[in-house]
Amino acid sequence: MRLFSLALLVSTWAWACSALVIDTASLGLHDNQLAQHADPSLAGYLGVFFLGADPYVYFYLSNGNNPISFKALNKGSPIFKPTKGTGGVRDPTIVPGGGSEAGKKWYIIGTDLNIGKTTWDAAQRKGSKGIFVWESTDLINWVNESLVVVEDNTAGMVWAPEAIWDPAKGQYLVHWASKFYPTSDPNHIGNPSSIRIRYAYTSDFRTFSTPQTYIDRSPTNIIDLTILPLNPSNSSSQSFLRFMKDETLKTVFVETSTTGLFGTWTRAGGSSVIIQSGVEGPAAYWDNTTPGKVHLLLDFYGSDGYRPFESSNPGSNSGWTQSSRTGWPTGLRHGSVMAVDQGLYGRLSSKWG
Ligand SMILES: *[C@@H]1O[C@H](CO)[C@@H](O)[C@H](O)[C@H]1NC(C)=O
Ligand SMILES: *[C@@H]1O[C@H](CO)[C@@H](O)[C@H](O)[C@H]1NC(C)=O
């Protein structure tokens, strides 16, 4: 009897250990890379958002190096407004330059949608097939506004574009959500496909490769993909986290790849685990000072917009906790946050602080 329980205990322990090993390895954490994340050169965070009734680009700067305390720049007025397309931009995301543009160039891209001028139904059947692009070499002057059409007329809309430098390709991977109507339904009156994530490559946000499908979970609708490098200190690392919204169930979840942006993605915990329901527009960023901690903004679209969450095990769908909102502004909607060094922090502060 005793021997049996001991054997059971040993085998349970061995199973627990092997499970643990598989889990950490699948997250790419086997060589303590997380310890490298906190970067002493980083002095704060720039948040780029739109506000509920105001589809323009707003900047928020962290109070010092506090990742969950932000103040509006430019006295709360937009940094810029679109002049093309619908005249409204939602889901603005700031894309740091990669490769030869690293530290020298930034892009803001976003959805061409002013919902005040249309309806949610029309916006998905006959919405814009373009993405807004602005360019900057200093984070202060935003120029060269363009509306780049990325899908053909079978698409109902192009939503929530984001981009990330792909070290394996040496170009930017741009992705967005679209659904499609058959060519026999040119007026988009009938039933569309499920919403899937599409992608294209670009070197300059002017010319894009022919779009292809990146994530298709049909019949489930997927929108609002965002990708976070797992080892930001190594620009050639092939490890990434990706957060997205299940638009059918209205939930947000995370997947991990250690084999590149087109490698094998694993949803830790299985196909039904989630981080949070009733939210959209995930925006993720590493903590500048606490190694291994990720902040995740989740847009409570039916309520007060973004609320910050945090985790020290960001590849897991469980264990995310709501952060303090003492220093958190209300009403921020789907956008993005980027770490900035002292030079950029000072420049943003003196221009718009
Ligand atoms: C704006 O476009 C012009 C013409 O292509 C280019 O020379 C310039 O570098 C661009 N400005 C920025 C800030 O990217
Ligand atoms: C960075 O990542 C690449 C690709 O995985 C790897 O070959 C290289 O050893 C890494 N560099 C460092 C300093 O860890």
**pLDDT tens digits along 164-207:** 999 999 999 999 999 999 999 999 999 999 999 999 999 999 99
Q: Whose CA is nearest to atom 9 of ligand 2?
A: 237
From the CA of 144, give the closest atom in ligand 1.
1
Coil, strand, or helix at residue 45? strand
136 CB under 6 A from ligand 1? yes
pLDDT one-digit tens code per residue, 126-178: 999 999 999 999 999 999 999 999 999 999 999 999 999 999 999 999 999 99
Q: How far is ligand 2, taken at its centre, from the CA of residue 233, in Å?
A: 10
303 CB under 6 A from ligand 2? no
189 CB under 6 A from ligand 1? no
238 CB under 6 A from ligand 2? yes
User: Among 121, 130, 40, 45, which residue's Cα sits nearest to residue 89?
Assistant: 130
Closest ligand relative to 105 C-alpha: 1
pTM of the model: 0.90
Distance CA 47, CA 337 (A): 4
321 DSSP assignment: E
For the chain, give every domain's residue range: 45-352
Distance CA 125, CA 87 (A): 19
From the CA of 136, give the closest atom in ligand 1.
13
- Indicate whether 10 pLDDT > 60: no
Q: Whose CA is nearest to atom 8 of ligand 1?
A: 144
Tokens describing residue 124: 């998905």
Under a CB-based contact definition with an 8 Å cutoff, are residues 352 and 79 in contact? yes
What fold does the segment set 45-352 form as a domain?
Tachylectin-2; Chain A (2.115.10)
From the CA of 135, give the closest atom in ligand 1.
14
If 0-12 CB within 10 Å is exposed, 13-18 middle and 19+ buried, where does residue 49 land?
buried
Q: List strands edge to edge, sheet with 159-166.
A: 159-166, 171-178, 196-202, 212-215
